[in-house]
A and B are shown apart, each in its own frame.
Chain A
Amino acid sequence: MSANEEQLAGLMRRARTGDGRAYEELLRRLIPLLRSYFKRRASGHETEADDFVQDCLIAIHQRQITYLADRPLMPWVYAIARHKLIDRFRSRKNSIGLKHLDEYDAAYETEAAINARLDIETLLETASPKQRAAIIATKIHGDSVADHAADARTSVSDIKVSIHRGLKALTRFARGER
């Protein structure tokens, strides 16, 4: 399930009024985001993803007074996730290169970067799965059109058309057109 910043912050605001259901929904929506956060940074340790998510959810719950309602929620969530990740691998830092992880994280984790990523995810939902895959592979991951065409077992021209149509759809959506 994909979730954007506004929805998640709204759930947190409702949770703070004592709405247990909103709180439950918020925590459930955070699970895939936290899992993905962990897997991107700790490849080779995927089996620990659920333990990591559990640690993060408990920390979010226990230390939620540090979230200020007038600030975006996800940078705060990712700051907690970052701390728990570093703490988890502190004793093993030589084996996974914590310094490198820190640098990667610092570049990734700015508020603007998180908001931009969430915006992109929201935008990409408006494209078809085929167009979305083509745009992510070529425009975000930097693969060549030919490589992606080979991976997708289709022609280069088909991928080019998908990218072109997908980008047009995203542009229309971003401009508020339908």
Chain B
Amino acid sequence: MNNLDGLIETLARMPPKAGRAGIIVRLSLGLLIGTAGAAAFLLVADGLFPTGGHDGRSGASIVKLVYSISLATMAAILLVQFASPELKPGKRHLFAMTPVAVMAMIAMAELFASPPSEWMTLMFGYGVSDCVTSVLVAAPPIFAGLVWSYRKLAPADVQLTGAAIGALAGAVSAALYAIVSGDASICFVFIWFSAAVVATSVIGGLLGNIFLRW
């Protein structure tokens, strides 16, 4: 008996069982475990270091949450697609940038509707370091959960998949931060939430080369 015969006999004792939902179930599980870890961390951290300020703008917190969840949804769609070895990422995946484009337009409208003397406050006045630091610090558990999910998946491009995992981790982390933090301008949310998610994507892309190789 050669090596291949032995291998096939071993593998044949464990025929596959997963069906169509396998990818989604696995990704959901990894996301859930990672998010639970990140939420626990943020709750503890928020008790120690209260995050964000409050300016009483109605609706801004909802925008924060909706923007984060939109980014997370797009990244999740990409991750389901990137799980297959057959899929080669292409320009069509730029659809994931839709929430960014929409939010950019709303933020510009807010900016130009305000007097120039308020622009700096709109862009920087709601705790930049709290926001970016919280998102970056809460993202790793989610990233780890998603990397675990991908241990049974087969991405064709590990770097891009790492970036998408980073984006999802950053966006979910931003959504959690949006819950525990105070209100902020739409302009602030667009600039700093986007910047934080871009940062987690870049880090994810770099780590993808290490952790997603198969």
Contacts and interface: CB of A to CB of B under 8 A. Distances in A.
Contacts, number: 94
Contacts of B9: 24
Given A16-B17, A65-B18, A23 B11 contact: yes
Given A28-B8, A58-B7, A83-B156, A69 B19 contact: yes
Interface string A161-177: 00000000000000000
A111 B87 CA distance: 11
B20 A68 contact: yes
B3 interface: yes
Secondary structure call for the B interface: loop
A87 B154 CA distance: 13
B153 A66 contact: yes
B154 A66 contact: yes
A14 to B, nearest CB: 9
**Most B-side CB within 10 Å, residue of A12, A61, A82:** A61
B213 A87 contact: yes
Nearest to A18: B15
A59 interface: yes
B4 interface: yes
**Most A-side CB within 10 Å, residue of B7, B13, B85, B152:** B85
A21 B13 CA distance: 9
Interface stretch (A49-57, A122-130, A133-141): A49-57
B85 A24 contact: no
A68 B12 CA distance: 20
* Contact-residue size bin, chain B (C-beta under 8 Å from the other chain): 20 to 34
Contacts of B154: 59, 63, 66, 79-80, 83
B149 to A, nearest CB: 11
A83 B12 contact: no
Interface in B162-214: 213-214
Contact of B156 (A54, A61, A65, A79): A79
A23 to B, nearest CB: 4
Secondary structure call for the A interface: helix
Given A16-B19, A66-B153, A27 B214 contact: no
Contacts of B2: 50
A74 to B, nearest CB: 11
Contact of A62 (B3, B85, B152, B156): B152
B16 A76 contact: no
B59 interface: no
Interface in A90-128: 111
Contacts of B17: 16, 18
Contact of B16 (A15, A59, A68, A70): A15
B118 interface: no
Interface of B: 2-4, 7-9, 11-20, 22-23, 26, 83-86, 152-154, 156, 213-214
Given A64-B16, A68-B84, A83-B85, 15 more contacts: A23-B12, A23-B16, A27-B8, A28-B8, A53-B4, A54-B7, A58-B7, A64-B18, A65-B18, A65-B23, A65-B26, A65-B152, A66-B154, A69-B19, A111-B86
9 contacts: A16-B17, A23-B11, A23-B15, A24-B8, A27-B11, A65-B26, A66-B85, A80-B85, A80-B154
